[in-house]
Structure 1
Amino acid sequence: MLLNILGPLSVLFIAALPAVEAANSFAGSNLYYAAGLYEDDRTTLLEGLQSAGMKILRVWLDGQSSSQKGTNINTFPDLEPSKICDGDASCYDDTVLERLDDFMVAAHSYGIKLLIDMHSYNALAAGDVYGRAYNKEGFYTNSDAQSAFDQRLIHVVNHVHTTLGKPWKELSDYIFGFEAENEAMIGDGQTFIQDNQQWQCDRAGTIKGQLGDNSGILILTGGESWMAESVQPDFLKCDALDVISIHAYSPGDLSTSAIQTYVKQAQSAGKKLILEEWGACYYDTSNNDCPSGSVLSSSTRNANIKNWADNISAAGLPWLYWQVLPNADPHYSTDYEIGLVNDASWSTLKSAAQAALQAEAAFDFSAYLL
């Protein structure tokens, strides 16, 4: 109809319209104990991630009291080491926040932002201050627990960076996103998660209330145990949530067609998706149950890495691998890790991450990346 109206001018008019380019995808990694890295290991990690074109590193705030995954770390306490602080600024131990202050500045120089989990179900289940006070279910259902935990979230996003002099909630050049908790409620079962979806939205509302609507920092869910559990209907309806985080280790969940089902749901709801945790087992046991077994050949494991990464990228999702280590992988139990030192699978993961940068994305994250 427009062509008929404009006649000969139509070609000029259409040529003047700006070209619409699809956004490209990206990859990243997790390292839950990043706050404990010494400078040499930090540099090794960031150089490795940069060489792979990885854009995001997901980190946690839970304290660590010993070396992890073969990495010799500078140990650090929990943010709330001995009691629930409930907003008492003098009660929080900010060591982990100050360690990440340094880390995020270093990461920025390598083109990498941090995705910050402000608590994890792992800590709760291990009996941290919230686990001792409320147990694994009461933490999510008790109004006092929710109020006190909200104060933790508020404390974190308002932490003033020790060198940049601004609160974290204003550091969109350094922080990709915040998550209230890693894998909230997973130990309580899928029905419990379904019955308590509002917990996620309420925590996101607390974070959004601090960030505002135009912070340039995303609010994510932190994932669950598998695809269907990670994408709950009320998460998709929650105004305060920007991104639904998927954790998936089963090969069935890592097929392009399976992922696309959830891509369509998120697009219809106006939300973004990210495959925030996935990995290829070092052993020949089921990929989503990987504590031990016979060692896979390098060629088989590398084929799994390439195949699943290609599937995820083909479905239009960015992804974060669990996990890239700044050292040789010691192959401890539940071994998905890939080391930057003498690991036969690093070059494959690196190539897959570089390929993700060329893949067309179903969601545009470009405004949130360096």
Structure 2
Amino acid sequence: MLVRVDQFIKNVDIYGGGHIKLIIALHDRYSLGCYAYKADGYVSKYGIPSASACSPPNDASKFYSNEQAKSDFVARLKYLLDHVNPHFGQRWGSLNRIIFSFQIENESQGHMSIHNAQWMCDINTQIRSSVNNGILLSTGGDIDYGLSLRLENFQCSALDLISLHDYSMNGDYSRGKFQEAIQLAQQYRKRVYIEEFGGKGDTQMAQALNIIGATAHQLGLPWLVWQVVPNARSGDFEFFTNDRTAWAAFEHQAYWAQMSPSPFQWPEIWS
């Protein structure tokens, strides 16, 4: 797997021409028994109940509360960050030519009734020294804007970026959350970006881009949409160039986003 990712990083450098950088999530909460078909080694080691969908009986709280699990996870993260990409002769944790940000986990503790408020900051603090050379640490978002804006993440000195996730089509709601995010980020010296939003199928994806994407760049927030992928499934949050309505909206909003003044500086991208 590391060999394949190393090659992918090289391909980004070749085809991106220095204009593309990666945000890499080093783990996925949904591998912790949320979907049984992709349960990882932590599920068996720590006896985490699995489910066919992200619902009971799945309960990953052991992973977030067990001290041995934390130690195992930090060791895994440091191993990955210290891995040297042979194409560049640099550790992943310092490969700022290609990597913009690392996040320890996608949607950490998502769809759980119990939340460990210290876990995110504790883990990021332990790996902070392994991520350097201008590469940032981001949160990985949560299942909606409200949970993405947990105050403890803004207060964590090890974190640089707050990632926002939500699939709402409500522009007024989104605007309010974006304004709240900007205010908190400025107060705690963080930066904010929208990492996941979208719609199902060509028409809904276009609506999401034209509502949420437009609202984001009106406030100067960078955004990424979930997700651009070949052979996109119309019943999922996916689209590609053959989805003409969505692709046209994507091009339009991306064009105007680059002209929107941001409340934050982004020297890692625009130098």
TM-score under structure 2 length normalisation: 0.86
**Equivalent position of 1:3 in the other structure:** none
**Equivalent position of 1:166 in the other structure:** 90
**Equivalent position of 1:329 in the other structure:** 232
**Equivalent position of 1:101 in the other structure:** 9
State how far apart, in whole Å, the 2-side matches of 1:308 and 1:101 are.
29
Q: Deviations over 1:51-103 (max 9, x none)?
A: xxxxxxxxxxxxxxxxxxxxxxxxxxxxxxxxxxxxxxxxxx53443343333
**Equivalent position of 2:130 in the other structure:** 210
- Pairing of 1:106-121 with structure 2 (within 5 A): 106-109=14-17, 111-121=19-29
State how far apart, in whole Å, the 2-side matches of 1:265 and 1:119 are.
26
Instruction: Work out whether residues 233 and 239 of structure 2, in 8 Å CA contact, stay in contact via their aligned partners in 1.
Output: no
Instruction: Work out whether residues 279 and 322 of structure 1, in 8 Å CA contact, stay in contact via their aligned partners in 2.
Output: yes
**Equivalent position of 1:319 in the other structure:** 223
**Equivalent position of 1:31 in the other structure:** none
Shift of 1:104: 3.4
Query: Mind listing any 5+ residue stretches in structure 1 that lack a counterpart?
Result: 1-92, 283-295
**Equivalent position of 1:157 in the other structure:** 81
TM-score under structure 1 length normalisation: 0.64
2:57 is equivalent to residue 133 of structure 1 = no
2:185 is equivalent to residue 281 of structure 1 = no
Amino acid at match of 2:144: W
Which of residues 268, 285, 290 is equivalent to 2:187? 268
2:239 is equivalent to residue 338 of structure 1 = yes
Which of residues 222, 232, 236 is equivalent to 2:140? 222
- Pairing of 1:1-370 with structure 2 (within 5 A): 94-109=2-17, 111-125=19-33, 126-134=38-46, 135=48, 136-189=60-113, 192-193=114-115, 196-212=116-132, 215-252=133-170, 255-282=174-201, 298=203, 302-325=206-229, 327-331=230-234, 333=235, 335-369=236-270
Instruction: Work out whether residues 172 and 216 of structure 1, in 8 Å CA contact, stay in contact via their aligned partners in 2.
Output: yes
Amino acid at match of 1:163: H
Describe the shift of the 1:328–1:244 C-alpha distance in structure 2 as closer, same or farther (beyond 3 A). Answer: same
State how far apart, in whole Å, the 2-side matches of 1:103 and 1:121 are.
27
State how far apart, in whole Å, the 2-side matches of 1:341 and 1:366 are.
34
State how far apart, in whole Å, the 2-side matches of 1:362 and 1:262 are.
11
**Higher relative contact order structure (alpha carbons within 8 Å, sequence separation ≥ 6):** 1
Q: Deviations over 1:151-174 (max 9, x none)?
A: 111011111112111111221111
Shift of 1:117: 0.5
State how far apart, in whole Å, the 1-side matches of 2:205 and 2:181 are.
26
Instruction: Work out whether residues 276 and 319 of structure 1, in 8 Å CA contact, stay in contact via their aligned partners in 2.
Output: yes
Q: Deviations over 1:268-294 (max 9, x none)?
A: 111111111111232xxxxxxxxxxxx
Larger radius of gyration: 1
Shift of 1:248: 1.1
Give the alignment's Cα RMSD to 1 decimal: 2.1
Instruction: Work out whether residues 107 and 113 of structure 1, in 8 Å CA contact, stay in contact via their aligned partners in 2.
Output: no
Instruction: Work out whether residues 153 and 206 of structure 1, in 8 Å CA contact, stay in contact via their aligned partners in 2.
Output: no
Question: What secondary structure does 1:322 align onto?
Answer: coil
Describe the shift of the 1:101–1:257 C-alpha distance in structure 2 as closer, same or farther (beyond 3 A). Answer: closer
Q: Deviations over 1:295-341 (max 9, x none)?
A: x7x4x75344212211111122111100011x24232x3x2211123
| Equivalences, count | 254
Amino acid at match of 1:202: D
Q: Deviations over 1:340-359 (max 9, x none)?
A: 23533102111101111001
**Equivalent position of 1:23 in the other structure:** none
Q: Deviations over 1:11-30 (max 9, x none)?
A: xxxxxxxxxxxxxxxxxxxx
Query: Mind listing any 5+ residue stretches in structure 2 that lack a counterpart?
Result: 49-59
Describe the shift of the 1:110–1:323 C-alpha distance in structure 2 as closer, same or farther (beyond 3 A). Answer: farther
Amino acid at match of 1:236: F
Q: Deviations over 1:186-245 (max 9, x none)?
A: 0213xx23xx12111112112212124xx2111001010001101111111100000111
State how far apart, in whole Å, the 1-side matches of 2:90 and 2:205 are.
44
Shift of 1:184: 0.7
